[in-house]
Amino acid sequence: MADQAMATRKAPLEGLRGGSPAATVTPAVPASRIALRAPAESVSALSAALGVTLPVRPKTSASTAKRHALWLGPDEWLVIDEDGADLMAAAASSNALHSATDVSHRNTAVIVSGSGAEVAINSGCPQDLSLAIFPVGACSRTIFGKAEIILFRTAEDSFRVECWRSFSSFVFGLLSEGAIDAGH
């Protein structure tokens, strides 16, 4: 092994830029992620271990610095660390009953930003994304065209769109078309 160079990481949307002045569409930087499943009794221990309070209300998230916990179901979260920290180890340190699975490479993310971000996403997502209904911090596993996405509002005019890597070029393409229309 000693003579072998370490394999380099190649994200599926590397180098792509899309969208319009109304809504830019850019690939998110690589992050680490776990699919976390746990019963209610484990939530506080896991929250402490992960350093972010796991939300228990539908469509909500919690964030600490660059770590985000997104509620996906009554016993299901997607935890994202934008710095790429070892979330598996953090979850394991809780010593509470849970299932953590590394999905850092299964998912990839697209950032949609700008005044037209809502409209761009609504080109393929039937949810009501108005601020009153889908405020900053809201998240939802939903559909976008023919792909499943996890939508996470990070700011009034910015969304993180998580999808499986092989759907990412479809998601990126449709978001870009939606973003162009959002400029009109």
Binding residues for another protein (CB under 8 A): 1, 3-12, 20, 30, 35, 37, 39, 75, 97, 99-107, 119, 122-128, 130, 133, 145-147, 164-167, 169-170, 173-174, 177-178, 180-181, 183-184
The SS3 of residue 118 is helix
Of the two residues 157 and 177, which places its CB atom closer to another protein in the complex? 177
C-alpha 141: how far from chain center? 10
Q: Cβ of residue 68: shortest distance to another protein, in angstroms?
A: 18
CB 93 within 8 A of CB 86: no
Residue 133 burial (10 A CB sphere; 0-12, 13-18, 19+): exposed
3-state secondary structure 9-20: CCCCCCCCCEEE
Q: Cβ of residue 113: shortest distance to another protein, in angstroms?
A: 18
Q: Cβ of residue 74: shortest distance to another protein, in angstroms?
A: 11
Q: Cβ of residue 55: shortest distance to another protein, in angstroms?
A: 18
